[in-house]
């Protein structure tokens, strides 16, 4: 079995790649940071008896995505599970103060990047008459919160695409699922706040956020259901978080 996980250089994607490898999958990992990709690859190869292929590209660039998928050697072509995880939030500000570059980064990565790779990978899944696409959405795709406008918009788009893909790919025997997490402590907030680590840390102050492993376990659970079962959609939250904005903090 082969799993391709986008955005596997850190956080949820990295843990998901490791967990699928632990369960015997050969793994394709993607991301822009080549050194990180090599580190993840080495670590998986050292710990599990599986093959790992790393593909370094920017998912916002359609030609890079197509080239990378076209370059897959024959023993990695027949992808069984695609985890659409690569994504980011950039900034947190009212719509009238929004930074257009931030908006474009989020739209190009979270929506267009996800579409580019899905189109390439599902071609072979359709030929093989099997496959499973697991989209990483967010609680931000179920609710909007103050200043989250465009990030929430991109994740609402993932929610709609998840439903649409499931309909279109049903005749081809391809399952489509989504996991929608609340707050997970990864590099997400560091990226959102342009490398400001102390601001990022405050997001998780006074409560226990999800760990990337928690989300990885949910993704693997979805992928390992019997063939007649599909998990359409999961919302996974820290126990201390009721919705996007209601968090029980100890401070
Ligand atoms: P991280 O920042 O830790 O990981 C994001 C991953 O996405 C990295 O591997 C990064 O790789 C990759 N990525 C980002 N932009 C690009 C790009 N242009 N091309 C290729 N790869 C890219 O964050 P998380 O693990 O938290 O995020 C993973 C997913 O989970 C995202 O879709 C996020 O929206 C979602 N999510 C996160 C939550 C959280 O609270 N952390 C909650 C709900 C959903 P590289 O930089 O090497 O390119
Ligand atoms: C990430 C979770 O609450 O920061 O998708 O939007 S949140």
pLDDT 10s per residue in the chain (251 long)? 999 999 999 999 999 999 999 999 999 999 999 999 999 999 999 999 999 999 999 999 999 999 999 999 999 999 999 999 999 999 999 999 999 999 999 999 999 999 999 999 999 999 999 999 999 999 999 999 999 999 999 999 999 999 999 999 999 999 999 999 999 999 999 999 999 999 999 999 999 999 999 999 999 999 999 999 999 999 999 999 999 999 999 98
What pLDDT is stored for residue 118 in this prediction? Answer: 98
Q: Is residue 244 within 6 Å of ligand 2 at its C-beta? A: yes
pLDDT at site 155: 99
What residue's CA is closest to ligand 2, atom 5? Answer: 138
Which of the following is catalytic: 145, 151, 204, 220? 151
Residue 188 CB less than 6 A away from ligand 1:
yes
Count Cβ atoms within 10 A of the Cβ of residue 165 and give its class: 0-12 exposed, 13-18 middle, 19 or more buried: buried
pLDDT on residue 21 = 98
Ligand 1 within 6 A of 9 CB? yes
* Tokens found for residue 110: 């979270």
Ligand nearest to the CA of 136: 1
The CA 200 to ligand 1 mean position distance, Å, reads: 15
11 lines ligand 1 (CB under 6 A): yes
Domain ranges of the chain: 2-236
Cβ pair 226, 201 in contact under 8 A: no
Q: Give catalytic status of residue 151 as yes or no.
A: yes
Distance 210 CA to ligand 2 centre (A): 11
Q: Which ligand is nearest to the CA of 244?
A: 2
How far is the C-alpha of 178 from the C-alpha of 85, rounded, in Å? 10
Longest dimension (CA), the chain: 55
Residue of 139, 179, 185 with the most ligand 2 atoms within 8 Å of its CB, for mutation: 139
Q: How far is the CA of 36 from the centre of ligand 1 (A)?
A: 13
Distance 244 CA to ligand 2 centre (A): 7
Pocket lining: 140 vs ligand 2, CB cutoff 6 Å: yes
Q: 88 C-alpha vs ligand 1 centroid, how far in Å?
A: 5
In CATH, which superfamily holds the domain spanning 2-236?
NAD(P)-binding Rossmann-like Domain (3.40.50.720)
The pLDDT, as a whole number, for residue 179 is 99
Give pTM, 2 decimals.
0.99
> Directed axis angle between helix 62-70 and helix 114-128, to 10°?
30
- What is the pLDDT, as a whole number, of residue 251? 82
**What local confidence, expressed as pLDDT, does residue 169 receive?**
98
Q: Is the CB of 132 under 6 A from ligand 1?
A: no
């Amino acid at each position: 079995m082969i799993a391709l996980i986008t955005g596997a250089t850190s956080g949820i994607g990295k843990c998901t790649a490791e967990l699928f490898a632990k369960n015997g999958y050969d793994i394709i990992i993607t991301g822009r940071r080549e050194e990180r990709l090599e580190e993840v690859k080495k670590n998986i190869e050292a710990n599990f008896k599986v093959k790992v292929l790393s593909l370094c590209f920017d998912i916002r660039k359609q030609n890079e995505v197509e080239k990378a998928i076209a370059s897959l050697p024959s023993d990695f072509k027949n992808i069984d599970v695609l985890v659409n995880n690569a994504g980011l939030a950039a900034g947190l500000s009212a719509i009238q103060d929004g930074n257009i570059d931030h908006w474009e980064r989020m739209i190009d990565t979270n929506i267009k990047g996800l579409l580019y790779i899905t189109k390439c990978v599902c071609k072979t899944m359709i030929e093989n008459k099997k496959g499973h696409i697991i989209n990483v959405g967010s609680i931000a795709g179920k609710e909007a919160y103050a200043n989250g406008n465009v990030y929430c918009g991109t994740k609402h788009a993932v929610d709609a695409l998840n439903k649409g893909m499931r309909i279109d790919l049903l005749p081809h025997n391809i399952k489509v699922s989504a996991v929608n997490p609340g707050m997970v402590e990864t590099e997400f907030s560091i990226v959102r706040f342009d490398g400001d680590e102390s601001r990022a840390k405050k997001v998780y102050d006074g409560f226990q956020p999800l760990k990337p492993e928690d989300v990885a376990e949910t993704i693997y659970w979805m992928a390992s259901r019997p063939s007649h079962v599909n998990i359409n959609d999961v919302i996974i939250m820290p126990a201390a978080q009721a919705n996007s904005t209601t968090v029980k903090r100890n401070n």
